[in-house]
């Protein structure tokens, strides 16, 4: 029973990180209809910002905050440079543009910074474990769960209480009508990218605490997981992204914990089969985006 | 800074190569082609390799060339870490008339490159691909250079038994031959000499979260005396962090993939980790000298052993050209490399003679103490103990 609860905590912690990432993709998709495959590179940028901040002698907490701010600002710049000029073209063009941004950043990181990973030390207190209700929980996991919860709460408050948040939600449900109401489209889209950058930056911190280094290709895998989670939850649906991320975490940890040893090699395939099975019964995802049908 | 130098050398090399037959006659220039991954997932290995090649060639040419007369000319082309592109680039380099080919850092593209060079009777050396079956698959013109996986597995198993460990757990990933086979070679030797490996756990490279695996290790009864893995970053740091933070203090053995500043930056959780690699820079030793030369040339310290092992490749080629008396014919060079014995290189010495094109070289054992790499021993395993590839 204890081991089961332990695995539940493991799943919550991993699923929470996936949820943050998927939410970042979903916020942008909801207003632009674009899956930003350069989302993972925002995480890489956070990593390099922290690395250079520490190298410049800034205190650790300042470096972390700076890292998140860099991701946020980069997301806004990315929209301005790579997506705004293409806004009126086909959605596929913007998708390709996001791949181009990712590929260019990979090569720039590899050739201007280093192809080798750069070490980012994590604070030693994160290496301890804490006893909660008889369970031994790693500090990193507790921090992940707490940070995810706080971020989701903060985002919900922003989207429900602030004018800009309400405008973003309105744009997510019907962008054209929102513009007719006199809402500035550029402002809403920039806000969506800023939120997605902020979430990518926060997720990057959790990711970096675990992996201990930043390298040019670091963002590739997380964005893939986030995409699966976002589709699973329902593309463009914000609550769906959170549900999808958590479910993906539970599927992965569940398979790793309980699949017999001989089957472990197939767990990725089994995991994705489960995702496909869910989509078979819920083709628009678990919490589909509500769309007005006229 | 380094990048600009690389670019300019590449440009020079390309310009020289494009001069074609009007360039210096074939007899006094040895043309080396590097089909290297300057971009993509192999770039972390092939970019440092490029630096090591440049440094070695620069030193030899400044001294007047091999034997004071044969200058070396390097042409590097990016293979983008793709096997298909590696084959295309290899053909381009062959068509330029190179004498020796240098392959990318992973076994699949290295095989592709080796096969194309072989068809033109050009010997290929793979600087850092460590799969011991590589030369066998690619054919008689392909040579390995790096510390082979079965050598490292043997040295780690011997070390584990010496420490009195009887019950080992291995953590493997089937994503690459390195992360899968190296622990399996360890297991083979460890079991052959009386140890037991009752548990094998698997991971997916880049999975980031090892909590489920760590929880399973906690359940094991009896608990393992030692954990062995060939995982490297970002997997190794994530694994050991989660292992230690859940209160498991079982000793951990690793391989050369974790020989990186990231591992040293892990702090107290990496304390006591023992790993193998291609050499330890003991004071006054050849690797320390190499590192000093590297720092002087590039203005920063090497962050991996790959420049040194690339330097070794050029030293082997130099020794082979000396042995042929300056004959640059492909078959003659191949035979000369195959007969090299005790060539002094940056990481110690290399012997190809009687080794089926997988060199015998020293394996260094290192231990992390207070965030520093310390030397445990240099080991040359007994040939009879090393499992067949």
Residues B336, B247 share a domain = no
Q: Which two tokens stand for residue A179?
A: 């513009």
Radius of gyration of chain B (CA): 21
Write the residue in B262, B264, B266 that is nearest to A117 by C-beta.
B262
- B387, part of any domain: no
Domain that holds residue B334: 2-147+283-358
- B30, part of any domain: yes
Residues B372, B242 share a domain = yes
- State residue A226 phi and psi, 5-degree precision: -65, -40
Chain A nearest-CA residue for B80: A107
Residues B18, B41 share a domain = yes
- B93, part of any domain: yes
- What is the largest distance, in Å, between two alpha-carbon atoms of chain B? 72
Beta carbons of A116 and B304 less than 8 Å apart = yes
Residues B296, B258 share a domain = no
Between A and B, how many CB-CB pairs are < 8 A?
141
- B384, part of any domain: no
- B109, part of any domain: yes
- Specify the pLDDT at position B315: 97
Write the residue in A112, A138, A215 that is nearest to B246 by C-beta.
A138
Beta carbons of B260 and A119 less than 8 Å apart = yes
Q: Is the Cβ–Cβ distance between A211 and B208 less than 8 Å?
A: yes
Residues B158, B108 share a domain = no
Q: Is the Cβ–Cβ distance between B345 and B55 less than 8 Å?
A: no
Residues B373, B246 share a domain = yes
Residues B182, B267 share a domain = yes
Q: Is B354 left (phi over 0), alpha (psi -120 to 50) or beta?
A: left
- Specify the pLDDT at position B24: 42
Write the residue in A3, A213, A267 that is nearest to B237 by C-beta.
A213
- Specify the pLDDT at position B18: 46
H or E segment and range at residue B100: strand B100-102
Which residues touch B249 (CB under 8 Å, ≥6 apart)?
A: none
d(CA B114, CA B102): 9
d(CA B179, CA B229): 8
Residues B215, B165 share a domain = yes
- Specify the pLDDT at position A291: 60
pLDDT in tens, chain A (294 residues): 578 888 898 899 999 999 999 999 999 998 888 999 999 999 999 999 999 999 999 999 999 999 999 999 999 999 999 999 998 888 899 999 999 999 999 999 999 999 999 999 888 788 777 887 777 788 888 888 999 999 989 999 999 999 999 998 888 878 888 889 888 989 999 999 999 999 999 999 999 998 889 999 999 999 999 999 999 999 888 889 999 999 999 999 999 988 887 788 888 899 999 999 999 999 989 988 776 444
Neighbours of B261 (CB within 10 A): 15
d(CA B146, CA B154): 15
Q: Which two tokens stand for residue B53?
A: 């090649």
Which residues touch B89 (CB under 8 Å, ≥6 apart)?
A: B35, B77, B78, B79, B113
- B317, part of any domain: yes
Q: Is A11 left (phi over 0), alpha (psi -120 to 50) or beta?
A: alpha
Beta carbons of A212 and B241 less than 8 Å apart = yes
Beta carbons of B215 and A257 less than 8 Å apart = yes
Q: Please count the residues of chain B.
A: 389
Per-residue model confidence as pLDDT tens digits over B167-223: 999 999 998 899 999 999 999 999 999 999 998 999 999 888 898 899 889 889 899
Neighbours of A36 (CB within 10 A): 33
Residues B125, B86 share a domain = yes
Total structural domains within chain B? 2
Residues of A in Cβ contact (< 8 Å) with B204: 267-268
Residues B249, B166 share a domain = yes
- B246, part of any domain: yes
Residues B142, B220 share a domain = no
Residues B343, B261 share a domain = no
CA angle B356, B358, B364 (to 5 degrees): 145
Q: Which two tokens stand for residue A292?
A: 């007005």
Helix B43-62 and helix B2-18: axis angle, to 10°? 70
- B181, part of any domain: yes
**How close does chain B come to A111, measured CA to CA in Å?**
7
- Please say whether the dihedral angle defined by the alpha carbons of residues B350, B352, B357 and B358, taken in this order, is positive or negative: negative
Radius of gyration of chain A (CA): 19
Long-range Cβ contacts of A274-283 (<8 Å, 24+ apart): A275/A228, A275/A231, A275/A232, A275/A248, A275/A251, A278/A232, A278/A247, A279/A231, A279/A232, A282/A234
- Specify the pLDDT at position B19: 45
Q: What is the CATH number of the domain that holds B52?
A: 3.40.50.2300
- Specify the pLDDT at position B3: 44
| Chain centroid offset of residue B53 CA | 13
Residues of chain B with pLDDT under 50: 1-8, 10-11, 14-26
């Amino acid at each position: 029973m204890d081991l089961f609860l332990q695995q539940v905590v493991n799943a919550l912690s991993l699923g929470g990180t996936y949820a943050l990432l998927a939410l970042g993709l979903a916020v942008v998709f909801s207003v632009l209809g674009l899956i930003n495959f350069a989302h993972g590179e925002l995480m890489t940028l956070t990593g390099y910002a922290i690395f250079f901040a520490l190298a410049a002698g800034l205190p650790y907490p300042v470096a972390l905050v700076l890292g998140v701010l860099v991701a946020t600002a980069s997301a806004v710049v990315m929209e301005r440079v790579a997506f705004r000029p293409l806004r009126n073209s086909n959605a596929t063009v913007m998708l390709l543009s996001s791949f181009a941004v990712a590929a260019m950043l990979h090569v720039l990181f590899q050739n201007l910074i280093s192809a080798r990973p750069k070490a980012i030390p994590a604070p030693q207190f994160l290496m301890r474990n804490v006893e909660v209700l008889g369970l031994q929980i790693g500090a990193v996991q507790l921090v992940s769960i707490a940070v995810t919860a706080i971020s989701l709460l903060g985002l919900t408050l922003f989207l429900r209480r602030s004018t800009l948040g309400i405008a973003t939600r309105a744009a997510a449900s019907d962008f054209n009508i929102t513009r007719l109401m006199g809402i500035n489209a550029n402002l809403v889209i920039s806000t969506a990218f800023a939120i997605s950058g902020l979430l990518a930056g926060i997720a990057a911190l959790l990711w970096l605490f675990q992996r201990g280094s930043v390298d040019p290709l670091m963002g590739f895998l997380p964005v893939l997981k986030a995409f699966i989670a976002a589709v699973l939850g329902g593309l463009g649906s914000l609550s769906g992204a959170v549900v999808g991320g958590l479910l993906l975490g539970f599927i992965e940890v569940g398979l790793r914990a309980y699949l017999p040893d001989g089957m472990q090699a197939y767990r990725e395939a089994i995991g994705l089969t489960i995702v496909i099975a869910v989509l078979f019964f819920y083709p628009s995802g678990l919490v589909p985006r509500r769309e007005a049908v006229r | 800074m380094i990048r600009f130098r690389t670019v300019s050398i590449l440009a020079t090399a390309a310009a020289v190569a494009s001069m074609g037959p009007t360039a210096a006659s074939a007899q006094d220039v040895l043309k080396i082609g590097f089909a290297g991954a300057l971009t993509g997932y192999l770039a972390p290995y092939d970019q440092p390799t490029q630096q090591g090649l440049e440094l070695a060639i620069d030193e030899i040419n400044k001294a007047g060339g091999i034997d004071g007369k044969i200058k070396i000319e390097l042409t590097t082309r990016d293979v983008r870490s793709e096997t298909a592109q590696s084959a295309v680039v290899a053909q381009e380099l062959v068509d330029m008339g190179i004498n020796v080919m240098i392959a990318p850092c992973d076994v699949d593209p290295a095989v592709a490159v080796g096969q194309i060079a072989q068809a033109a009777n050009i010997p290929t050396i793979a600087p850092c691909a460590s799969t011991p079956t590589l030369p066998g698959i690619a054919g008689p013109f392909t040579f390995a250079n790096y510390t082979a996986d079965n050598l490292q597995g043997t040295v780690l198993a011997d070390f584990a038994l010496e420490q009195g460990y009887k019950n080992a757990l291995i953590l493997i990933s089937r994503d690459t031959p390195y992360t899968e086979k190296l622990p399996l070679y360890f297991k083979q030797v460890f079991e052959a000499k009386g140890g037991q490996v009752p548990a094998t756990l698997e991971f997916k490279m880049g999975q980031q979260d090892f909590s489920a695996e760590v929880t399973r290790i906690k359940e094991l009864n009896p608990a393992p005396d030692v954990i062995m893995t060939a995982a490297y970053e970002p997997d190794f740091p994530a694994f050991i962090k989660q292992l230690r933070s859940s209160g498991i203090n079982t000793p951990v053995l690793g391989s050369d993939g974790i020989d990186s500043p990231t591992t040293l930056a892990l702090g107290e959780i990496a304390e006591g980790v023992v790993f193998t690699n291609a050499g330890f820079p003991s004071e006054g030793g050849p690797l320390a000298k190499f590192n000093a030369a590297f720092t002087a040339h590039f203005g920063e310290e090497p962050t991996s052993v790959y420049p040194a092992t690339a330097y070794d490749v050029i030293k082997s080629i130099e020794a082979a050209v000396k042995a042929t008396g300056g004959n640059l014919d492909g078959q003659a060079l191949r035979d000369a490399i195959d007969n090299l014995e005790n060539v002094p290189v940056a990481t110690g010495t290399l012997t190809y003679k009687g080794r089926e094109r997988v060199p015998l070289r020293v394996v260094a054992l290192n231990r992390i103490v207070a965030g520093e790499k310390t030397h445990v021993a240099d080991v040359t395993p007994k040939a009879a103990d090393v499992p067949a590839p």
